[in-house]
Structure 1
């Protein structure tokens, strides 16, 4: 049979099985060698395809979709450097445990290493950042090869989505002709031919229950919840905290600061509290129970490192060992929700003193109103967060850029019941691809606000095209301090001779022209009332809206932050 038919049936079988196994979205970067895969994806009746021209942006856009939907997303490009441009998003997906299935088209074997155009070595090119790599067979439509294509597709979906979720890379060597014959492809009705069933433990062992009973003898325990986005987690962990009588130190990405769950034991101002040396010493725990990735707060990590805790439990379903403090005494590989529910059910609550818990709660009550107090100066970056979160409506989504925005959200996002979902790229903690990731996360329809600094915004300006191409309305708040604000908080800020050149990096760019080019609305605000009005207006607009907040000089911003922290420290002196 004609090779074109073989190509069609082979790739059609692969795509159909991939969709039947659970892939609902595919992000495609245009190219020639990937033509048959792209056309067959677009032709599939139930697969939603998204075009993103810039491969780096496309990789992060797919990451955002997978992060938001919590399901694998396919990512397709042509041969050559196109595949290399996916690398930053692949690194982030690996470290943040997001399922991606990367499909790279390639030259056939006879055109490799002979000077053919757009031919580079794509064999296992992502190395250890890929959970599984397959050099696919040259397309044939024999029963054995069609069965092979379906088997790889089903296994790829299952592998990418199994704990720990991550990246699968499939490399497709394809010979011309590259245009498929649609008369020779048959789509199934959604039933997977290859079943992959994963067994998940729904009970904790008797030895773990015994361990928790030992842990429960100690009064001075903390539950540290880092980035975690799992249905049912807030309710489960707060119920466990009630049984143990421990405070929960809740990172903003833990989803514990916003929602209807109980919050009596939830402490959100720990970063400011622990900057008080007396509090830091007094609050060193005997027990640490960690769930989720490492928290944003550096001083909280320092507390964990400095504490000689008798028990330090890291709960992680993904067979991971996320413990940069190197202080963990036990790694418990359970689903976090299952662990919390089981522990709350089986561990017998002890009548022990709760002085330690009350110290945390009282300190939080002292710190919160200070951190909530408005600074008179319009340009304070902390107020950008406080006023943003106060205007957000229930069930919206807040996506946060790295560097200063995530740290300001950690300091200035306070407990509420709005059920705001908070997302960020905290796997590798980079500033690249943030706009694209946020736009990918916005496809489910809930209004999304992206908070970024000016350097992060600049880094992914190409990502704005996805908003225009796919009609994805989004509000982007750009905190513009004309440079890298976070470096002003670091020791190198004292090296004044070279600081601005190497770290401050002022750009003096007018972003309005770029936003207009992508069909968005741009507003540079000059007061807090104007800022809040523009936010509320943007939530109702069916278009990209970029609100730029010009802030104080970077040095002045550091002073404003430290003034608040010093005030918290002053008020805590009497408590410790």
Structure 2
């Protein structure tokens, strides 16, 4: 068997084993050294290959596909700095627990560390952000080569896909010639449709004794809250809402918990807890005895302050398998167990007698906050209005991808519960503004309509990703919040203390005409200036296939003032409500 035959058999068996393990998508960035992998994936009939020339965009694009499909996605790139461009998305995938398979092509060992062109040290390139790294052996005509390569393919896939899910890097050294021979007999191996390695993952749950101890501790309290942040296990929603109703306690639902949208019972859902907790006096009145949190920490900063101000609260954090997500540093109980099974088990226990006036207060406060936040929608457009407009006209059974900085915070404040089946996604692992557009485009590969809400800095940062819309069919409406800079800094102390060079360092105005970007990528473009025009633009965009860009121009200072006025009004109304309750 010559070099080309060994190379072809090696890579073909690797790709076939990934398919047998469950891989369905690969994102390829063009390059020479990655030729064996790229050509084999492109030839293999059962794995969809996507081409993205920008490796940074490609990695975030793959992350979006993986988020939407809930299964690993592979990435292929050439040697050198190409692989380094994956790093931001690798970090995001690590912290948000998204499975990715990074397949980096490399120079053979004799060309490493000798000054050969396009040869860098790719060994453990991503450090501790990967679950497993393996430097693959060279394709050679030796006994056991097929078993070796299939074993590594299956192992990599299953490691990435088991909780906590994450990133695996396989580094492939290839010698020239690099072009496979696809005319070979039995190219994909003799055992097609039979996986070389299978893996069964059991579910963690508490023992009866552990459950009883937990239940006995909880029932000693009166004022409890269930909190749901971004959750990896999305099968738990109905069980969590059922537990909140069974216990008669409020349920704080972060928008990424998927509990604000859908047909499930939302009686206990408090979606405006962020606005309610913004003022110190309100937080002082509402002190919890216990909190059970499912998923990651919520977006809300007032919730974080509330936790800090209540160090004696009995705090439980449910992690499906392992992990530590408790940034406050208070005494807590970490529960390793599947959320759905835990809730179902607690539903079979006697319902504790909690304080029902606690729930009633939260529900009344929530109603007041929602009424204030939702009113006066005919005034000049603000970023809060935009979220409300999207919620009203976004198609059922679609995806809402949200950018970081102010976009996700406005969704947290202004996205109220709805019976529409809307999946809300965001890159909240490392919370960066990079790669958001590419991630949203990745979710659009599923065929579902996607709405992306994003700020101007973040949109500018990742505009290369829009090239994908010219090559593939994707139905996406991008709502661009253009406040000409970093709007979130208008809410921070830097803006209130007259910091020198504030605009240059924090405001960062770009003064760009985004119509040119729309024209470059042949997007349908809208620039609404009032509520009716915005709703009309959204409605029109949802009827048009492909890419639509809706640019909403806002003023940073006016937007900050508008938000602060809303929060003050909520605080005043809640204080009045509390005074009435006290007098009764």
TM-score range, shorter chain: over 0.9
Gaps spanning 5+ residues in structure 1: where?
none
Counterpart residue number, 1:240: 243
Instruction: Tell me if structure 2 keeps the 8 A contact 1:243–1:348.
Output: no
Equivalence for 1:132: 132
Residue deviations 1:264-320, cap 9 Å, x none?
111001111112322201212110101011100000011112113442110011301
Quick check: 245-254 or 208-217, which moved more? 208-217
Normalised by the size of structure 1, how large is the TM-score?
Answer: 0.97
Deviation at 1:376, TM superposition (A): 4.7
Partners in 1 of 2:211 and 2:329 — Cα distance? Answer: 21
Identify the range of structure 1 (251-260 vs 215-224) with the bigger mean alpha-carbon deviation.
215-224
* C-alpha deviation, 1:363, in angstroms: 0.8
Deviation, structure 1 residue 115: 1.6
> Per the alignment, do residues 510 and 502 of structure 1 end up closer, same or farther by CA in structure 2, a change over 3 Å counting?
same
Residue matched to 1:543: 546
Matches within 5 A, 1:10-409: 10-184=10-184, 185-186=187-188, 189-201=192-204, 204-345=207-348, 347-409=349-411
Unaligned runs of 5+ in 2: 579-584
Please tell me whether the aligned partners of residues 257 and 268 of structure 1 are also in contact (alpha carbons under 8 angstroms): yes
* Pairwise CA distance, 1:362: 1.2
Cα gap change, 1:366 to 1:481, in 2 (>3 Å): same
* Aligned partners of 1:374 and 1:383 also within 8 Å: no
Q: Does the 8 Å contact 1:288/1:312 carry over to 2?
A: yes
1:525-573: CA deviation from partner (whole Å, max 9, x where unpaired): 222211111111111111100000011x211111100101100001001
Deviations 1:97-155 (A, max 9, x none): 00000000000011112221111110101000111000000112434121111111111
**Contact kept in structure 1, 2:368 and 2:573, CA below 8 Å:** yes
CA-based RMSD of the aligned residues comes to: 1.3
CA deviation map 1:363-406 (0-9, x unaligned): 11111100111255323111011111111121111000000010
Secondary structure, aligned partner of 2:196: coil
Q: Is the 8 A contact 2:247 2:352 kept in 1?
A: yes
Q: Structure 1 residues 143 and 541 mapped into 2: Cα distance closer, same or farther (>3 Å)?
A: farther
2:490 pairs, out of 476, 488, 491, with 488
The residue number in structure 2 matching 1:412 is 414
Which of 283-292 and 203-212 deviates more?
A: 203-212
Which residues in structure 2 correspond to 1:495-506 (within 5 Å)? Answer: 495-506=498-509
Q: Which moved more, 1:229-238 or 1:149-158?
A: 229-238
Contact 1:97 1:165 in 2 (8 A): yes
Q: Return 347-356 or 292-301, whichever deviates more.
A: 347-356
CA contact (8 A) 1:286 1:311 kept: yes
2:426 to 421, 424, 427: 424
Change (3 A) 1:229 1:447: farther
Q: Give distance in 2, aligned partners of 1:460 and 1:380.
A: 24
> Contact between 2:34 and 2:77, CA under 8 Å: does it hold in 1?
yes
Q: Indicate the SS of the match to 1:33.
A: coil
2: distance between equivalents of 1:414 and 1:196? 40
In the alignment, the residues of structure 2 paired with residue 575 and residue 400 of structure 1 have an alpha-carbon distance, to the nearest angstrom, of: 34
Aligned-partner Cα distance in 1 for 2:182–2:548: 41
Instruction: State the shift of 1:20 in Å.
Output: 0.6
8 Å CA contact retained: 1:286, 1:308: no
Once the two structures are TM-superposed, the CA of residue 204 in structure 1 deviates from its matched residue by 4.7
Instruction: Check the 8 A contact 2:204/2:320 in 1, yes or no.
Output: no
Could you tell which deviates more after superposition, 171-180 or 302-311?
Answer: 302-311
Contact 1:273 1:569 in 2 (8 A): yes
- Following the alignment from structure 1 to structure 2, what is the Cα–Cα distance between the partners of residues 466 and 204? 49
Separation in 2 of the partners of 1:29 and 1:374? 48
CA contact (8 A) 2:12 2:40 kept: yes
Query: 1:434-453 to 2 correspondence within 5 Å?
Result: 434-453=436-455
> What TM-score does the superposition give when structure 2 sets the normalisation length?
0.96
Could you tell me whether the CA contact under 8 Å between 2:241 and 2:265 is conserved in 1? yes
Contact 2:72-2:161 within 8 A present in 1 as well? yes
1:400-434 Cα offsets, whole Å, 9 max, x none, are 00000100000000011001110000000000000
Report if aligned partners of 1:453, 1:479 keep a CA contact under 8 Å in 2.
yes
Structure 2 counterpart of 1:557, from 556, 559, 567: 559
Report the CA distance between 1:359 and its aligned residue.
Answer: 1.2
Aligned residues of 2:222 and 2:353 also touching (Cα < 8 A): no
> Bigger shift: 399-408 or 495-504?
495-504
SS of alignment partner, residue 199 of structure 1: coil
- Partners of 2:30 and 2:51 within 8 A in 1: yes
Whether the 8 Å contact between 1:9 and 1:141 is mirrored in structure 2 is no
CA distance, structure 2, for counterparts of residue 18 and residue 343 of structure 1: 39
- 1:517-532 correspondence runs (5 A): 517-532=520-535
